[in-house]
Every structure is written in C-alpha cells, then in structure tokens.
Amino acid sequence: MAGRRTEPLEGHSRGEDGRFKRVGARVLLVDRSGVEPRLLMMRGHDPHEPTRSFWFTPGGGREGGETARAAAVRELAEETGFVLEEHELMGPVWVRTAVFDFASMPYSQTEDIFVASLADAERRDRADAAWTPQEQEALDELAWMSRGELVADGREVFPATLLDDWSVFLEWDGATVHMGEVDE
C-alpha cells in the first residue's frame, strides 16, 4: 500500500493484547447561544478507508506527565483554536476506553471526557502547524452540530453516546460516568 502510514499514532505503546495503548482527553465544547445547544465536532476519515467518514470530539493523547485537564485544553487549542483554562472544564463527565482500528492498526485509548462552554473560550487562529501529520491526513472539517444534526447526518459519531440524550452532560450532576470499554 504505497503512501500509507505504517507507524502508530503518536503517544502509543503496544500492549500485551497487540493493541496500541494510549491515555487521552477530549472536550465537549458546547455553544448554548442558539435555540438548541450545539457541540463543536470534527469530521475525519480513516486514511486506509477514505470512504469511511465519522464525527468525533476534539481531543487526543496525553503527553509525558500531563494531566487529563492539561491535555484537554492543549488538544482543544491545537485542533480548533479555542483556548480554555483548565478550571473552565467540568468533569470528567465520562471516562471510557475506546477500542478501535485506525489506518489498519488496532488501538485502545482510555480517555477522560470534559465539558466546557463556548462562552468561556477565547478564539485564536489555529495554525496548520498545530495539526500533527496524522491529523492533517485524516481531518476534513470542524462544524457546530446539534444532536438532531448528528443523528440526521448518518455518519458514525464518537463517542456514540452523543447520539443519545445530551442532558447527561448539559445538566451534569457532578458524577463521572464510567462507560467501561467501548468497541468502536
């Protein structure tokens, strides 16, 4: 397969089960200014399956001794240009281990998922250099989407629970939901 990446995504090490392991953090950035809440979503594709397109939340792997909160605000800024302070994150609202294949490689990523408000975010221009080579290859667009728009779009959504009732994180009660291992 000429031109296809054969190395794993950054920050991964192979586990005993053969999957590349990583810990990460994600942000559900909520815009409540309209009639219904919207989330900032990213649309991407698998470089080895270009017709497989999906929506997911901003986020990625933790670096070195980085905390989940630090990783969440760093990844959000790098990927979208929206800048938050760690104390502006609520949660984690969800903790999960996503098991998936990407670019013909098996992964297991344990991640903390936080919620933040667009009203708290500062907008800066995102330089293309902030995207890793893997992100440049696989990311297609950023879009603000309501739950109804995500459902109607018909593409896969990660985490898939975003297709369900959003009150779980919009009206968060302070209890972290441990979702366990999720096969994606």
Residues in the chain with pLDDT values less than 70: 1-13, 15, 125-130
Short-list 164, 61, 145, CA closest to 177: 164
pTM of the model: 0.87
State residue 181's pLDDT score: 94
Summary count for the chain: helices (H), strands (E): 4, 12
Report the pLDDT value the prediction gives residue 151, as an integer from 0 to 100.
97
- Percentage of the chain exceeding pLDDT 70: 89
Q: Assess contact for 24 and 71: CB atoms under 8 A.
A: yes
Map out the domains of the chain as residue ranges.
13-120+132-169
Amino acid 4: pLDDT: 44
pLDDT of residue 104: 87
CATH number for the domain running over 13-120+132-169:
3.90.79.10
Contact between 177 and 90 under an 8 Å Cβ cutoff? The reply is no
Q: How far, rounded to the nearest angstrom, does the alpha carbon of residue 19 sit from its chain's CA centroid?
A: 19
Handedness of CA 64, 23, 72, 154 (dihedral sign): positive
